[in-house]
Amino acid sequence: MKNIVILISGRGSNMEAIVRAAIPSAHIAAVISNRPTAGGLSFAAEHDIACEVVDHTAYGSREAFDAALAAAIDAHEPDLVVLAGFMRVLSDGFVEHYAGRLMNIHPSLLPSFPGLHTHRRALEAGVRIHGATVHFVTATLDCGPIVIQAAVPVTSGDDEASLAAKVLREEHRIYPQAVRWFAEGRLRVEDGRVKLAGADVPAVLGCVPAIDAD
């Protein structure tokens, strides 16, 4: 059983998807938010998950906040820390502390459109395929080893809202799958690429293969 700590800043819909997946090999040890008003805290409490707030506004620097956040996380002895709509840029020291056990989901097919406003930028670029990526976090923003991706078509009738909704549905499918693989001990990183043990990769959720199978 792997201990999972999930970080949120808002409603935490990806956190909900992971909790609802009820992964047998994963124990959701805590949900921690940097915002006291984060809607996802209520959902976590209703599911008897420990909830904590480390309010970033109470700290004078990013490093001070990250130190307090790490202390809160480490109290739960996590095997994996999951960023689920956690809207803070983390310091290099924090990322290094959780190297290999810090996971994020990004609303684009990385390496395309890192950073913010991904759906708007995808529409402006005229791409025909957009999507979401689960990746391990490194010091370079949105550039860590890719675990899994899911693609959606971009149609002529799409706007930011409709495209975001399509991508979010895929996020809710692939993030629990990535956490499940980690909890089952099936993921490893070699030479900057993620390898998955014992998988029929093309059949996984109908997603774009982003993993080298063993």
Strand 129-136 to 146-153 pairing: antiparallel
Q: If you ran DSSP here, which 8-state letter would residue 99 be given?
A: T
Tokens matching residue 104: 């994020």
Is 130 an annotated catalytic residue? no
Instruction: Note whether 7 and 82 are within 8 A (CB).
Output: yes
Catalytic residue among 56, 106, 119, 135: 106
Residue 48 region by backbone torsions, left for phi larger than 0, else alpha for psi between -120 and 50, else beta: left
Instruction: Note whether 149 and 188 are within 8 A (CB).
Output: no
Angle (deg, nearest 10), helices 13-21 and 160-183? 40
CA distances from 136 to 70, 176, 177 (A): 17, 14, 14
Instruction: Note whether 41 and 67 are within 8 A (CB).
Output: no
Q: DSSP 3-state assignment of 124?
A: helix
Residues 121 and 182: their CA atoms lie apart, in Å, by 31
Tokens matching residue 213: 């199978």
Query: Which sequence positions are flagged as catalytic?
Result: 106
